[in-house]
Structure 1
């Protein structure tokens, strides 16, 4: 309409439409979750599902999905968070957790007894 000034910042939350700006706490929340034990398990299960589902389809598109699924699977198994690098944070899991102030979690299987921790007699009866 002539004479009506354009509404400034008419996007969600006063943001201009078409641009997404993440606040620092939003970035830390998402990246912190991905670096946590539940986030790592989620990435492992998602990647494994993509690999198995892609290979089970038996098509070239399925093979591509399986190949893409290796990314989150391997990254989570090695405790890397590639998304953190997009925001200028370290990719290494322990370093990232220290920088974000998230409690450092040593193992994906913490709470499960390891073979060396069991009370087993060294002799066979």
Structure 2
């Protein structure tokens, strides 16, 4: 199902990258048509960043990502930027020389 993919972590990244590409490409063209493309690119960029999927409302599903994934029976996913988590405690003491 398309809604399931778009709500997943790879789907969110796809929306973010596609939206950013549209915004950058539209603004770099410097034309009114490019500005319209950049404005349209804000949609996928912002919905991917804020984990919202308005398309899900057409199927009677919740639009918020966490509730949508729960409704579709998808397992809870890790955060979008999983590799950037910092450790909670420091294992070695800091020594100042």
TM-score of the pair, normalised by structure 2: 0.88
Aligned length: 96
Alignment match, 1:34: 6
Alignment match, 2:67: 95
**For structure 2, which runs of at least 5 residues remain unmatched after alignment?**
none
- Ranges of 4+ aligned residues in structure 1 off by more than 6 Å: none
Structure ID, larger Rg: 1
RMSD: 1.9
**For structure 1, which runs of at least 5 residues remain unmatched after alignment?**
1-28
More helix by percentage: 2
> Given the superposition, is the C-alpha separation of residues 50 and 74 from structure 1 closer, same or farther in structure 2, using an over 3 Å criterion?
same
What is the distance in 2 between the residues matched to 1:50 and 1:96? Answer: 26
- Structure 1 residue 36: deviation in Å? 0.1
- Structure 1 residue 84: deviation in Å? 0.2
Match of 2:45 among 73, 76, 80: 73
**How far does the alpha carbon of each residue in 1:13-57 deviate from its partner, in whole angstroms, 9 at most, with x for none?**
xxxxxxxxxxxxxxxx11010000000000000000000000000
